[in-house]
Chain A
Amino acid sequence: QSALTQPASVSGSPGQSITISCSGTSSDIGTYIYVSWYQYYPGKAPKLLIYDVTERPSGISDRFSGSKSGNTASLTISGLQAEDEADYYCCSYAGSPYVFGAGTKVTVL
């Protein structure tokens, strides 16, 4: 399975909205609703932000939202804050194994 395709970096000013795309194929994102997004800070445990394309776990801010169209999933961060500066990875179930994206570094200007 090939990795999902994400932009290497996305930036925005505080208060703005940004969207991170995650492009897959008909074997993963295009077939399954099991798309999830994770936030990574260096040296810390990764955190689940979105699961099943659009669902947020308890405790995750509603500034984070997910969507999917065809073979591409997206994560939108609204009202960008300094604390959102981190690495973000998408993941899709692909009938075992799971496949991840290569990651997007979000920079808050």
Chain B
Amino acid sequence: AQKITQTQPGMFVQEKEAVTLDCTYDTSDQSYGLFWYKQPSSGEMIFLIYQGSYDEQNATEGRYSLNFQKARKSANLVISASQLGDSAMYFCAMRDPNFGNEKLTFGTGTRLTIIP
């Protein structure tokens, strides 16, 4: 069974600083996919970034990058130059390789608060 662990329930970061949100995962499979989603206070789930287990380079999407360390089974999200609008819940998720996007396993999330 897949498992995602996010050990930081909440974080406070000064505006314009970089922030790293931790995510570790547990799987015995070699092929898998990792996602990060953002949930602002309005409640919608916003896709941020994806990393495939066979991708040789760390994924990047604008100010978001994923620090993928396969041997450590970690997939930390890095947000550069944080903004007030980054305040939200952030979820790490894994796609079960035996299934697909219809079956994601989510972590418990990290609530990020950006301080002006």
Please indicate whether A and B come from the same complex rather than being unrelated chains.
no
